Structure 1
Amino acid sequence: MAPINQFNLKTLVIYLFLFLGSSLFAQDVRVEDLQFKGNKKMSSGKLERAIQTQSNPWYRSFLFWIDSKIFNEQKFLNDLLRVEKFYQQEGFLQARVTDYQINYNDKGDEVKLVIFVDEAEPTKVSSVHFIYPNEPEEDFSSEKMRKIVRLKEGKRFREADLKTDYNKIIARFNNRGYPYIQAKVKPIIDKQNNLVVLEWQLDPGPFCTFGEIKYTGNNSVSNSVIRRGLGFRPGETFAQKKLLNAQSQVYRLELFQFVSLRASDLEQQPREIPIEVRVKESVLRTLKFGAGFGSEERFRTFLQWRHRNFLGGARILRAKIKHSTRLLPVEMELELSQPYFLDNQNDLIIKPFFIIQDELSFKARRIGIEIGVNRQITPKTNLFVSTRVERDTVSLKGATIAPEVEDLYSKSVLKLGFRRSTTDALFSPTRGSISTFVIEDAGRFLKTKFEYIKLSAEHKIYYQSKPGEVFALRLFAGTMYRRAGQTETPPEERFFSGGSFSVRGWQRQLLGPVRPDSSGIIPEGGNSIIEGSLEIRKTIYKKVSGVMFLDFGNVWREWNGFDFSDLHSAIGAGLRYDTVIGPVRIDFAWKANRQEHDTRNYEIHFSIGQAF
């Protein structure tokens, strides 16, 4: 047996050597180019997103942290099947991959790929029919059902549209008293003529209403408070969307850690559907304290006291004090929020305030009160309207002082705004968008020293290209119109640009109009502004991430004074470290095109929170 053992050991050593050698000396092959030939109806970009093999982007050499796309032949061969499946899902039922090419370079470390496709003709819908066991109600007639579906006569037979139509049909019945709807679709395909007939077989089941409502988990908050947020009562027509909306409305009260609404006993198919509302109460009184440091405000701190369910009725009373070494010596707010004002989607907010601002261009002392109503149109969309009256004492800094704005004066401002947010996170979103539009009208109803109309709009987009890599975009524009007879706008309401949350190539407020002063330059602000930012955010290690960014913008003195040839920009990079209160960040920005009065080419910013 000895010779056999020696032979096996020798063979094992040889195979182990060959295996390790092939691993050590194996060469990664990068995908230099990926092309599709024969595709006319589907773009190459859509086809590439449908497969796993990816080509290296043109900017790969500039972004060192992006991994190269490595070629895997077996994965590529499977991708040929994925291409055909993608076409079939898009309605090209007879599309085929006819050929492919794998072309290596001389070194064997790069490959160019070509996939040849024959799209054939798409299959289109010739007719749509809705079949019921009994004569349907008017709301569910074939004519009305055809209006809600995507796959109508002449449309391409897409799998995604079929799934969407199924969900729309189920939702239509669920929200009109039929929670037990059964829906099936039967596609009848004519391959010769590339046509399909869709037969929807629908059984609505019995008509149902909301039944008894049971509440559990609320100890300090009364049932009546929760009931006002539900938006439905026993005996009303059952609607699934009312359950979802009710959960959102009750949760936004900030009285509960979680809220759960569910229909009970559905397996028994009762006509009166009982609803169970389960909640877990939050701590009703909280005191928070925080401190931090930033390159603009320097040391900053805040103290906030919040009393939930204040005097019953789900009211919230909040008192907050903020202080920073620079910019904001004092900010005090007392806010009373009354939910369910007029209906369960409105909040009445009353907020007296006292603020001392110490900016580079002015110092202001402001005292006033703001009263507004915030309406939640959808869980992601809010509409707000408010009126603000304040008494301001403003002193301008610098040698040149306009006497008409340096004074004690009153302001009366009516504000109307809209905000929609679809982001997936509060501090560091990876997908979704935030859109905001605000219009302010000063001095129209209560005559004060300044009369103006101020418009501003902002849009932010977040897109995750892959885990750990996010593209973020921000655009902001605003303008302020002085009414007839007005020569100035109040400095504390003007637009300013530059800073860690603005165009980072400049210090706070120093991008735009300035005036000379014995101590340097003083920003004046303006009545028109444009700002934009583009960021690429990439995780480096666990909680540490890096960014590269491009910021641009400017401020102009006159209203509607936008001049796109007069934009200034900055490029830069930064680091982020995620914490429970948001990312701590440091940014280095280099001016791409300086202003005449700029004294240096770069700025460094340190702060907490993403730039946008």
Structure 2
Amino acid sequence: MTGFTLWGVAAGCAWAADPQPYVTQLESSGQADLDAALKSSSDLLGLQATQAVGPFALAGRIRNDYDRLRSALDSYGYYNGTVQITLHRAKEKDSVQMDGLSPALADWLNSVPAGEKITADIKVQKGPLYHLGSITVQDPKTKAPVVLTKAQQEAFGLKTGQPAVAQTVLGSGGSLLDILREEGHALAQVDKPRAYLQPQTHTLDIVYPVSAGPVLNIGTIDVDGLKRVHESFVRRRLTVREGELYQPSRIEAARQDLTSLGVFSSVTVKDGSTQPVNGTMPLDFTLREGKRRSVGAEVGYSTDLGGRVGATWTHYNLLGNAERLKLTALITGLGGSAQQGLGYDVYADFMKPDFYSRNQNLSVRIEALRQLFWSYRQTAFLVSAGIARRIDKHWNINFGLSGEQEKIDQFNVTRDYTIVSVPLAATFDNTGVGNPLEPAQHGVRASINATPSVSLGNKGSGTSFFTILNASASTYFDLTHLGISRPGRSIIALRGMIGSIQGASTYDIPPDQRMYAGGSATVRGYRWQGVGPQYGRTRYAIGGTSLDAGTIEYRQRLFKSFGMAGFVDAGQVGSSSMPFTGTLRVGAGAGVRYYTPIGPVRVDVAVPLNRAYRGDKWDLYIGLGETF
């Protein structure tokens, strides 16, 4: 048969263009990481199920595999390794084999009958492991040795005698370049190393060309791409300044900080020159502004609070300094075991970043709401203003002033209240989760709040002074630390909270300022405000002056987008200001999760284990993000 015939061959032989089926068997080298590299390097293995080829193309694939597999051996320090590929054709008890390097390989493949599968056996011999010999760092122009500082040597990491693994050798150059640039050598260059094999000693000599260049400071900073955002605001916001030492980590942090403002769709930064400019390196920040406005919808449901539905409108750059205005209108109380009817919640939120100081934001809210709980019916108008200040990477403090005018009907008694409060808070978070909807997998979140308040005498009510104290903490433990799960797949989450109202008794405090438990925020399985002092075995909650609650939750990720959770909640509300009084209520439940790019969709079902009101049987909670 002629290898280039277009029409046919003798009966029983394959057509030249027909795909040749085959199966590949790779013998283990005895080293798991090397076996993985060999498997990923082999086209015979990687393409056998997806890229069918004819005999001549398969012959080329086999010959190419020798070079690919030898490169994998070299990358692990086995420079004298050998590769053997043997092809087998078997029918009944007869067997014919062919060396993968034979000049007659293509003809042999072409002689295999159509449809008959052949086997390619791959065997590698590692040979001796090479180690690093001499390691030289030199200037590529002068060939003079470059003396590294102690910090540079530690970052470089290469030492005579260690295995000559390609990834380690090449990676050390990147590490050296990083520290050189971090030390201000903005124009530093670390080229690919030259390697010299020494077969007699089974060593590899390395020569690394390194040009450090001068130490530079940050030069002129240009800001381009602004349209509606004020340049003066951006420059005040920048965390790097002209004249400071050039450090890529601080420059990147400045870029990410501008991105976090939420007004830019992209922020890029690059060196402004290829040569030093008066001992400095200029920087060019290029910013692309995002959409200024957005419209969204808000939907939620639980069997106790019922449904809530509404719309939001947000302006992200109201006055040119990344001020954010968000308008929200919601209809609430769509059904629900804790509701007596429909209510509303309409509010405007204004946020101004860097208010009189960097890392200090001003927030203002104006709100009108109506809530028709079984515990009380409330119509209120609220105004609040506060300042949130970031102390460091983990700590934030908040302080402000709020005023509320409300009318509350509780147990057929209507009273008006005017409440002035000074909320103070400190929060700690080292979970490393920037998006509040993203589940935490490790670390601690904690907060402590104190709200001194005065309820001024109005129709049907007297004047009272009281202080609301709250503290909460949650922590997350990844079971991968016990060796029983992959990272991020199995999480134990714990939460605890405690609260007390000092200075006034229960009935001297407006009903909406008292402490309640029950619902997704405290003890699931009990309706909203369903835990604590009540009028007999009814759904009418009185509220209390102390609270304590805790949760243990197991979260298991399943497949790529699904997960499940199981939890137990417990809590109590007391009539004295001392926590850990009252009747302890316990709820338990489970749920499913569907993970989206913005956070998990949560569906939980919980039941009360020692219910106080016969109407409490079970509750369903649907939301975005984990409960805590």
TM range, normalised to the smaller chain? 0.5 to 0.7
Distance 1:223 1:333, change over 3 A: closer
CA–CA distance in structure 1, aligned partners of residues 501 and 295 of structure 2: 47
Distance 1:255 1:455, change over 3 A: same
Q: Which residue of 2 aligns with 1:179?
A: 186
Q: Answer yes or no: is the 8 Å Cα contact 1:391–1:410 preserved in 2.
A: no
Q: Which residue of 1 aligns with 2:569?
A: 555
CA–CA distance in structure 1, aligned partners of residues 377 and 42 of structure 2: 59
Task: Give the drift of 1:265.
Answer: 4.1
Q: Which residue of 2 aligns with 1:455?
A: 473
Which amino acid letter does the alignment assign opposite residue 479 of structure 1?
G
Which amino acid letter does the alignment assign opposite residue 348 of structure 1?
N
Identity among equivalent positions (%) equals: 10
Which amino acid letter does the alignment assign opposite residue 527 of structure 1?
A
Which amino acid letter does the alignment assign opposite residue 269 of structure 2?
L
1:27-426 map, 5 Å: 37=28, 39=30, 42=33, 85-86=71-72, 88-93=74-79, 122-125=129-132, 128-132=135-139, 141-152=148-159, 155-184=162-191, 185-191=193-199, 193-266=201-274, 272-282=280-290, 284=292, 286=293, 288-292=295-299, 294=301, 297-306=306-315, 308=317, 310=319, 313-326=321-334, 329-330=344-345, 332=347, 334-339=349-354, 342-343=357-358, 346-352=359-365, 370-374=386-390, 384-387=396-399, 412-421=424-433
1:529 maps onto 2:551 in alignment? yes
Q: 1:163 aligns to what SS in structure 2? A: helix
Q: Pairwise CA RMSD of aligned residues?
A: 6.7
Distance 1:364 1:325, change over 3 A: closer
1:584-599 map, 5 Å: none
Task: Give the drift of 1:247.
Answer: 2.6
Q: Answer yes or no: is the 8 Å Cα contact 2:608–2:618 preserved in 1.
A: no
Per-residue deviation, residues 450-509 of structure 1 (Å, max 9, x unmatched): 545421135799xxxxxxxx99665532223579999x994359975798xxxxxx7988
Which amino acid letter does the alignment assign opposite residue 534 of structure 1?
Q
Per-residue deviation, residues 19-53 of structure 1 (Å, max 9, x unmatched): 9xx99xx9999x9xx99755256497888777789
Which amino acid letter does the alignment assign opposite residue 158 of structure 2?
L
Distance 1:340 1:39, change over 3 A: farther
Which amino acid letter does the alignment assign opposite residue 531 of structure 1?
E
Distance 1:100 1:225, change over 3 A: farther
Q: 1:227 aligns to what SS in structure 2? A: helix
Q: Answer yes or no: is the 8 Å Cα contact 1:417–1:439 preserved in 2.
A: yes
Distance 1:317 1:158, change over 3 A: farther
Give 5+ residue unaligned stretches, structure 2: 1-5, 93-117, 337-342, 412-418, 454-464, 480-486, 507-513, 573-578, 581-585
Which amino acid letter does the alignment assign opposite residue 178 of structure 1?
H
Q: Answer yes or no: is the 8 Å Cα contact 1:243–1:262 preserved in 2.
A: no
Q: Which residue of 2 aligns with 1:58?
A: none
Distance 1:263 1:417, change over 3 A: same
Task: Give the drift of 1:556.
Answer: 3.5
Give the number of equivalent residue pairs: 523
Task: Give the drift of 1:301.
Answer: 0.9
Task: Give the drift of 1:303.
Answer: 2.6
Q: In the alignment, which of 497, 511, 516 is matched to residue 491 of structure 1?
A: 516
- Greater CA radius of gyration, 1 or 2? 2
Q: Which deviates further from its counterpart, 474-483 or 597-606?
A: 597-606
Q: 1:179 aligns to what SS in structure 2? A: coil
Q: Which residue of 2 aligns with 1:476?
A: 493
Task: Normalising by structure 1, report the TM-score.
Answer: 0.59
Give 5+ residue unaligned stretches, structure 1: 1-7, 56-68, 399-406, 462-469, 500-505, 539-546, 561-565
Task: Give the drift of 1:82.
Answer: 6.6
Q: 1:130 aligns to what SS in structure 2? A: strand
